Amino acid sequence: MAIGGAVGRVVARARGPRTGVALRNLEIAFPAWSRAERHRTLVASFANVGRAIAEVALLTGRHREQILDAVRIEGLEHLVAAQRSTPQGGVILLTAHFGSWELAGAALARSGIPLSVVHHGFENAQLGSMVTRWRHAGGMQTLELGSAGLGAVRALRRGRVVAMLFDQNAGRREGRFAPFFGLDASTRAGPALLAMRLGIPVVPAFFWRVGEGPRHVARFLPALEIEPAADDAERSLYRNLCRMNGAIEAAVREAPDQWTWIHKRWKTRPEGELGAIYLARHRLRRRLRQWLARAGLSGA
């Protein structure tokens, strides 16, 4: 874990892959911060990701129980209350790429929570197969994003807790715009629509790292107030998405170094909005050539 944290810090300080995106996101989220403050958070965030990767590796070996024993669960009464509020007991768990999120799933499943996880597919088939194997071995069900709708409905009707990572950019077809850190962000509408139509409670939960070591707190919060589908369904959906984004934003504001800032959260923009949030790669290369030319190094 110490090595993972050190590698993360080196990548951040060397301005490695995705650090530009992370700094742009920090600029959007915390415009009043100085560059030094953003850079400190960048380094701490990458160190957290490095530790989280190390923890996933440790979960597959002899240190698994030791790692899981260092997790404390708080606010479980909020999850139990939500489960008891519906006949089937199904709950949508609203969470994010926060803390050590893979370890969070393993810890919650180990505690006896019937957990189903909606996740992105993996570009690397071997990595995807490995992660799926240890998730299933730990008692989790996995539902791949894009084809997860029917599986999620079935899981909820069987009384399972369906965890959804709700903090990434949604494409224009599946998303609706709702504010996140004061800027419209394309937000996946599916989870909110599911909660509205089926009367499923939505419980925010985040996995906090305590210090820089192996200790963690899995914290459940009170269920969000989700408006049911009404005459003006789009307006109700918008207000629900605002609540869901707001729950994640509050957690990130409390511990910005524990959120993974590398995703292009504001990539999809409203129709008619001019300008891009993120610098396109070809523009980045052009700026690099211009800088080299000004420095007299273009022929090097």
- The length of the chain is 300
Dihedral angle computed from the Cα positions of residues 3, 213, 11 and 252, in that order, rounded to the nearest 10 degrees: 160
Q: What is the mean pLDDT of the chain?
A: 88
Residue 58 is predicted with a pLDDT of: 87
Domain boundaries of the chain, sorted by first residue: 2-292
Angle at 88 between CA 82 and CA 94, to 5 degrees: 40
pLDDT over threshold 60, residue 297: no
Q: What are the pLDDT digits (tens) for 100-145? A: 988 888 899 899 999 998 876 556 666 666 666 767 666 777 887 6
pTM, two decimals, is 0.88
User: Taking 80 as the threshold, does the pLDDT of residue 207 lie above it?
Assistant: yes
Q: Poorest-confidence range of 19-28, 219-228, 255-264, 267-276?
A: 267-276
Sort strands 183-188 and 175-180 into parallel, antiparallel or unpaired.
antiparallel
Instruction: Compute the Cα dihedral for 179, 182, 186, 190 and give only its sign.
Output: negative
Residue 299 has pLDDT above 60, yes or no: no
Q: Residue 300 — very low, low, confident or very high, per pLDDT cuts 50/70/90?
A: very low
What confidence tier does 217 reach under pLDDT thresholds 50, 70, 90? very high
